[in-house]
Amino acid sequence: MKKTLEEQVRSGLKAIGRKSKFHRVMTIPILAVCMFGFHLVAAIRGNTKRIAVLAMGLCVFNVYSSFSFPLYISVVGESSFGNYSEQDVTLAEETQIDLEQLVLSCEEEYSYEDEALSGVDAFGSEVGEKYSATDILEANRDRIEKEDTGKEKEVQDSYEDYEFSADDWRLVLINKQNSIPKDYEVKLGNINTIKGVMQCDERIIDELLLMIRDAKQDDVVLAICSPYRDQAYQEMLFNRKINNYMGRGMSYVEAYKLAGQAVTIPGASEHQIGLALDIVTDSYQSLNEGFGNTKAGKWLAENSYQYGFILRYPKEKEDITGIEFEPWHFRYVGVEAATVIKEKEICLEEFWEDYVH
């Protein structure tokens, strides 16, 4: 009968062990290692499927973590700090960052303007306060009725001949290249809701309420989140993001750079001037691309211009706005500009280029 390899090794070692006491002592560890090896091989043979599944799991995990972990960190020697406001510089200085090392330019890498507030934030941040249309309408019934009576909504087909002035408060352009002007005065107004008071620019409240009301009449229950954020809040979001990244083992410079791609740098958010609103719906409260496919997302994209609001960061304009498609972020620009922007399918940056003098 043919001996197995294991039996051959055992009998070989036994024969050596018989030679002397010294040989016997030496064979014991060798035998132990060999037995372990044989059993390991046997175990692998008997569990090939399980091991394959485990290996695949590890592969998937590896690929997944390369998505969530920023692979695109690159600190370039030259500083492109020219685009950033004094506020950014102060913030950076306060936290002792080597400014020369920072490259926050996002020509290719678009950011999510509001990611820190999104329900899908990977770090489990609390979701910003949301105000449902039902609560807002309930608390503002009188105001809406007053706004509505005896005033026929002006309908005009085209505003192409309208004179758009660079001094018009409604058109102020805020982005990474144009931070909020130093002398900008935010004119905040309160909107009472059943759950509390939310704030935005007082001059847009009437049209906002009408939009919420009309959407409800079309069976679309909107919900407003983070209408206005002050500088301190924006800085808190920004710093929290930095801490999150540092908690994952990044250096301050890397974390700062990435935070600048994920959260709007303080001083460059339209939310800070009260002209921007993140709008979702009761049944879909996440700030992500999927909102664009909801009934509410479609309703807003189609109708918001009639109330002076535009979808500020449209799809396929990322290279101009520097911000990913955000179907939930709406910016007030007034009905004239909103009509042109909707009609021409342009973004606010392009509108400034072509229409504002």
Residues near Zn ion (CB under 5 A), total: 3
* Residue 229: CA count within 13 A, CB half-sphere: 28
Minimum CB distance to Zn ion smaller for 317 or for 329 = 329
Q: Which is nearer to Zn ion, 170 or 329 (CB)?
A: 329
Candidate ranges 45-53, 111-119, 131-139, 182-190; the one touching Zn ion (CB under 5 A): 111-119
Cα separation, 179 vs 92, whole angstroms: 16
For the bound state, the minimum distance from the C-beta of residue 326 to Zn ion, rounded and expressed in Å, comes to 6
- Asked whether the beta carbons of 113 and 269 are under 8 A apart, the reply is yes
Among 326, 336, 349, 350, the active-site one is 326
| Contact call for residues 321 and 347 (beta carbons, < 8 A) | yes
CB of 240 to Zn ion, least distance (A): 17
For residues 284 and 280, what is the distance between their CA atoms, to the nearest angstrom?
6
Q: Which range binds Zn ion by CB under 5 A, 59-67, 112-120, 156-164, 181-189?
A: 112-120
The dihedral through the CA atoms of 96, 97, 100, 104 has a sign that is negative
Look up 324 and say whether it is catalytic.
no
Q: Which residue among 170, 257, 317, 329 contacts Zn ion (CB under 5 A)?
A: 329
Q: 24 — phi, psi (to 5°)?
A: -65, -45
Of 92 and 287, the one with the shorter C-beta distance to Zn ion is 287
Whole-number minimum distance, CB 242 to Zn ion, in Å? 20
The Cα–Cα gap between 105 and 259 comes to 12
CB-nearest residue to Zn ion? 329
**Cβ distance 222 to 68 under 8 Å?**
no
* Cα–Cα dist 254/232, whole Å: 22
Among 254, 278, 318, 336, binds Zn ion (CB under 5 A): 278
Q: Are 307 and 210 in contact (CB under 8 A)?
A: yes
> Is residue 318 a contact residue for Zn ion (CB under 5 A)?
no
CA angle 1, 3, 21 (to 5 degrees): 130
The least CB distance from residue 79 to Zn ion, in Å, is 29
Per CB under 5 A, does 312 bind Zn ion? no
- The residue within the footprint of Zn ion, chosen from 84, 112, 114, 284 (CB under 5 A), is 114
Residue numbers annotated as active site: 326
Point out which residues bind Zn ion (CB under 5 A).
114, 278, 329
